[in-house]
């Protein structure tokens, strides 16, 4: 089963940071302080997990309701449990995807500053800037 939602999110993150997903994960893992990249990757991982859980539960439900399989005494509970877990996985995936998409849409890629021997820039640091939002009047 294709995991299109997580794939689209990963592609958006890669595009935003200009690096492959594996490289971004390695960079985030090497950083000890919280940052936007780490938060985006954590939300993406939650979407991936929900999609894997959804695929697993769908496969299990299909096994339980296979036409050639007789539904026994305890099967109804297992079928109900799979259906409940499918609903939960869809809710988690959709909620996480909605929030991460909103965050990704508020960010944009900015050109890296020109580097000179005296001005060295760390990779990934200047790649993302929050989109400008008008100040709220109180």
pLDDT in tens, the chain (138 residues): 568 999 999 999 999 999 999 999 999 999 888 899 999 999 999 999 999 999 999 999 999 999 998 888 889 999 999 999 999 999 999 999 999 999 999 998 877 777 666 555 555 543 455 554 444 443
The per-residue pLDDT for 135 is 47
Closest CA to 19 of 137, 125, 94: 125
H or E element: which one contains 17? helix 4-17
Closest CA to 98 of 24, 46, 31, 20: 46
pLDDT tens figures, 62-101: 999 999 988 888 899 999 999 999 999 999 999 999 999 9
| 106 CB-contact burial (10 Å; exposed 0-12 / middle 13-18 / buried 19+) | exposed
The per-residue pLDDT for 42 is 95
Burial 35-58, CB ≥16 within 10 A → b, else e: eebbebbebbebbbebbebbeebe
Global confidence as pTM: 0.75
The per-residue pLDDT for 51 is 97
């Amino acid at each position: 089963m294709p995991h299109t939602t997580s794939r689209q999110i990963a592609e958006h993150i890669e595009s935003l940071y200009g690096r492959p997903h594996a490289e971004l994960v390695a960079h985030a893992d090497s950083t000890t302080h919280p940052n936007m990249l780490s938060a985006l990757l954590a939300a993406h991982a939650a979407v991936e997990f929900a999609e894997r859980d959804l695929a697993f539960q769908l496969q299990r439900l299909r096994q339980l309701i296979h036409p050639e399989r007789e539904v026994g005494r305890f099967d109804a509970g297992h079928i109900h449990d799979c259906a409940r877990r499918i609903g939960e996985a869809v809710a988690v995936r959709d909620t996480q995807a909605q929030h991460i998409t909103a965050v990704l849409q508020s960010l944009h890629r900015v050109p890296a500053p020109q580097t000179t021997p005296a001005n060295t820039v760390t990779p990934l640091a200047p790649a993302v800037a929050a989109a400008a939002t008008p100040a709220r009047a109180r």
